Structure 1
Amino acid sequence: MLEVLETDLIQRAQQGDAEVIGALYEQYYRHIFRYLYYRVGDPGTAEDLTSEVFLRMLSFLKRYRSERSRPKGGSAGSPFQAWLFQIARNLAIDHYRKMSLRDHAQLEENLASPEDDPDGQLHQGLTSQALRQALSRLLEDQRDVVVLRFVVGLPVQQVAQALHKSEDSVKGLQRRGLIALRTILKEWEITYV
């Protein structure tokens, strides 16, 4: 039922319904911003990239096809949220390509302060700044899976669609990413729940 409602909203947005486009923005903005914030570590850059995600959404919305609306024999679509995360991930990758190596290293060392973080303090001694620094030490695919699963809260199926991977691959990356994250946090003597 929810998929039918989303499909209807997407079709209305594709026809230029500004109210629906605004509702989609409101619905997904926080999730996209949170993902990008944990990828780039700077609230200003995350805000800029989030804005670019929605600009690209508007540019490519007419070409978007959900799984339910694809023509017979046509290319498979993806749920709208997974599509937005594909755009966000590609923008984050492009952002790092444009940065010099020096700027990237400096960014990881000078991540935003916890006061700038929309989540604030996470758990006993585990600040979001420490989490971002620990996440930056994971392999990119592991980091993407962990952030999308546990920071953004996407189910495995949507993470797989957003990253163009199988569900089994996502589960493996999640397991290895969490093991690596626990090891890093243990090395830093940071407690977590």
Structure 2
Amino acid sequence: MPQALPDDVLSAAQSGDAEAFSQIYYTLAPGVSGYLKARGMEDAEGSAQEVFLTVFSRIGTVRGGYQGLRTFAFSVAHARYVDEVRKRARQPYVSEYDPETDARTSDSAETVALEVLGGSTVEEKLRELPPDQHEVLLLRIVADLSLEQVAEIMGKSTGSIKQLQRRGLLKLKTLVERKEALV
């Protein structure tokens, strides 16, 4: 778990102390950036910078000490992710024809065997989960947020977050066991 900051750092930042802003950034930025990168943001670092511009511009409204600040930062990061998904949905992706990436061709037996026998990353397995389960596991594991913080960010009850987490972990277990059975 990332090192927590004392609540007086938030108070100092709310009073305009530049050093407090730096401490907050260097403590929270790696987790926020990792969360955005895991969500597939094209420019995770740039988006993390935007998150902190928003967080710092609204620092006076943050309540709940360090945990409240952390929850707020990841709420803003989640909102940036949702904004990018919506933007992508409105703008179709256009690319030139590339025969090597044409999905209408079938892979050779060798390629299929290598894919089955080769290792797959956790990220690939997470992508196979339904979006809500994927989001909960990222916020709980990558961002290391509590059930209550994830519930607040996603606008759901703590009970539904527990269920999404349980179902997501069971689905991951099934995916891993299925892969092991094929090997």
Aligned to 2:37: 37
Q: In structure 2, what residue type is equivalent to 1:85?
A: F
Partner Cα separation in structure 1 for residue 119 and residue 71 of structure 2: 28
Please point out which of 72, 82, 99 is paired with 2:71: 82
Q: Partners in 1 of 2:87 and 2:40 — Cα distance?
A: 13
Q: 2:54 aligns with which of 50, 53, 56?
A: 56
Q: TM-score, normalised by structure 1?
A: 0.68
State the Cα deviation string for residues 2-34 of structure 1 (Å, max 9, x = none): x9932x222221221110000000110111111
1:75 aligned residue = none
2:174 alignment partner in structure 1: 183
Match of 1:168 in 2: 159
Q: Deviations over 1:76-123 (max 9, x none)?
A: xx71111111100010011111114754xxxxx9xxxxxxxxxxxxxx
- The structure 2 residue matched to 1:92, chosen from 59, 76, 81, is 81
SS of 1:154's partner is: coil
Asked if 1 retains the 8 angstrom alpha-carbon contact of 2:14 and 2:59, the reply is: yes
Deviation (angstroms), 1:143: 1.2
CA contact under 8 A between 1:41 and 1:132: conserved in structure 2?
no
1:55 counterpart letter in structure 2: L
Residues 116-168 of structure 1: CA deviation (Å, up to 9, x unaligned): xxxxxxxxx866xx322222232222112101212222222322233232221
User: Alpha carbons of 1:52 and 1:181: their partners in 2 closer, same or farther (altered >3 Å)?
Assistant: same
Letter of the 1:11 counterpart? S
Q: How does 1:132-147 map to 2 (within 5 A)?
A: 132-147=123-138
Q: Residue 80 of structure 2 aligns to which amino acid in structure 1?
A: L
Q: Which ranges in structure 2 are unaligned for 5 or more consecutive residues?
A: 94-100, 102-117
**Structure 1 unaligned spans of 5+:** 69-77, 104-108, 110-124
Instruction: Decide which structure has the larger Cα Rg and report it.
Output: 2
SS in structure 2 at match of 1:99: helix
Partner of 1:116: none
How much is the aligned-residue C-alpha RMSD, in angstroms?
2.9
Question: TM-score, normalized by length of structure 2?
Answer: 0.72
Tell me whether 1:28 sits opposite 2:28 in the alignment.
Answer: yes
The equivalent of 1:122 in structure 2 is: none
- Residue of structure 1 equivalent to 2:97: none
Deviates more, 1:160-169 or 1:27-36: 160-169
Q: Which residue of structure 1 aligns with residue 113 of structure 2?
A: none
CA distance in 1, matches of 2:20, 2:78: 24
C-alpha distance in 1, partners of 2:70/2:20? 15
Paired residue total: 155
